[in-house]
Amino acid sequence: MDEADVRNLLRTVEDPDLGEDIVSLGIVNDISVDDDTAQISLVLGAPYAPHETEIANRVREVLGSEGLDAELSARVDSQHSPEEQVLPGVKNIIAVASGKGGVGKSTVAVNLAAGLSKLGARVGLFDADVYGPNVPRMVAADQRPQATEEGKLVPPEKFGVKLMSMAFLVGEDDPVIWRGPMVHKVLTQLWEDVEWGQLDYMVVDLPPGTGDTQLTLLQSVPVTGAVIVTTPQQVALDDAQKGLQMFGKHETPVLGIAENMSSFVCPDCGGEHDIFGHGGGAAFAEEQDMPFLGGVPLDPDVRTGGDEGTPIVLDEDSETGDAFRILTENVANNVGIINRRRQQQE
């Protein structure tokens, strides 16, 4: 069996998201055949995303049915030359944003990062909320970054996630007062002067709104896509619209809308209460023709986990943990879609 035969076999493997076979979509980079082994490079850039895992498993299955062992590798060509890459070891940068404060954006960012790590990915979490950095508390990270001989910071790890936050660099009770140029300088230094290493995903927790930090991020690093966090409340949805417009102006894909505090189940009576309304995030996503990543209920255990430093996504017995795990998988799948579509257009 030669390369042409293998390519024909791969035409029977369909992309579950894009709806065509992986050869026609340009998802096959290279094929080589050596005896009973086929070495195949695929455009799969979202490690541990369920749908990309499904594609890889289907390739192995199809080739295995013809007596071939499949040795698979993944490669997505970068949009930038090595000289232009600020974070060359980071495959995907996911910005977590919200139009307003108080919607649980940091909670989503922390659980997303921990959830991706739980899937097996190499993950970094950058707390870019310079005005109110609270990610270290939410993961009970009391270890400070170490420094190399070259003066670079080595981020501490928690739950398999590499962490960096302004909270590590300022006093716990010190007020943080930054003007625009200062924000740009400190964020740029944190990206460039940290030993992030090789990461499948970097989750960036942005401050609420559409200010200097967001602009610095979008102008400095290649953001793969953004997650917009909202509650079902109309006020939050109005502000989420501004976030969408900001990312649209910078041609940054939006991975989807996450609805936090979507409902509250009373632990005493079992009744479900829509404290902030119901279904607003899903309706907003449909109206904007954006993916809906999932709804996370208003659960006291989320607050407890945040205060005690244990993300609820790691709790296998929690229904709210299930909601975060579904959200995490949807984000990873949508990262894969963006990468595969970009390759298809090149």
**Does residue 105 have a known ligand-binding role?**
yes
- Local confidence pLDDT in tens for the 346 residues of the chain: 889 999 999 999 999 999 999 999 999 999 999 989 999 999 999 999 999 999 999 999 999 999 999 999 998 876 555 555 778 899 999 999 887 676 778 899 999 999 999 999 999 999 887 777 788 888 988 888 888 888 889 999 999 999 998 788 765 555 556 566 677 777 777 778 899 999 999 999 987 766 667 777 777 788 899 999 887 766 667 667 777 777 777 788 899 989 887 665 555 555 554 545 456 678 878 888 889 998 888 777 777 777 788 899 999 998 889 999 999 999 999 999 999 988 777 6
**Does residue 280 have a known ligand-binding role?**
no
**Does residue 277 have a known ligand-binding role?**
no
> Is the Cβ–Cβ distance between 43 and 54 less than 8 Å?
no
> Is the Cβ–Cβ distance between 226 and 95 less than 8 Å?
yes
**Does residue 209 have a known ligand-binding role?**
no
Closest CA to 52 of 338, 344, 311, 345: 338
Enumerate the β-bridge partners of residue 230. 259
Residue 217: both structure tokens together: 């991020």
Q: Is 220 exposed, middle or buried (0-12, 13-18, 19+ CB in 10 A)?
A: middle
CATH of domain 3-74: 3.30.300.130
**pTM for the full model?**
0.88
Would residue 338 be called left, alpha or beta, if left means φ above 0 and alpha means ψ between -120 and 50 degrees?
Answer: alpha
**Does residue 183 have a known ligand-binding role?**
no
Residue 205: both structure tokens together: 């927790």
Q: Is 34 exposed, middle or buried (0-12, 13-18, 19+ CB in 10 A)?
A: exposed
Q: How far apart are the first and last CA of the chain?
A: 30
Residue 123: both structure tokens together: 């993950």
Sequence ranges of the domains in the chain: 3-74, 90-345
CATH class of 90-345: alpha beta
Residue 273: both structure tokens together: 């209460």
CA distance linking residue 117 with residue 160, whole number of Å: 6
Residue position matching structure tokens 């279904």: 279
Q: Are strands 28-34 and 37-42 parallel, antiparallel or unpaired?
A: antiparallel
**Does residue 104 have a known ligand-binding role?**
yes
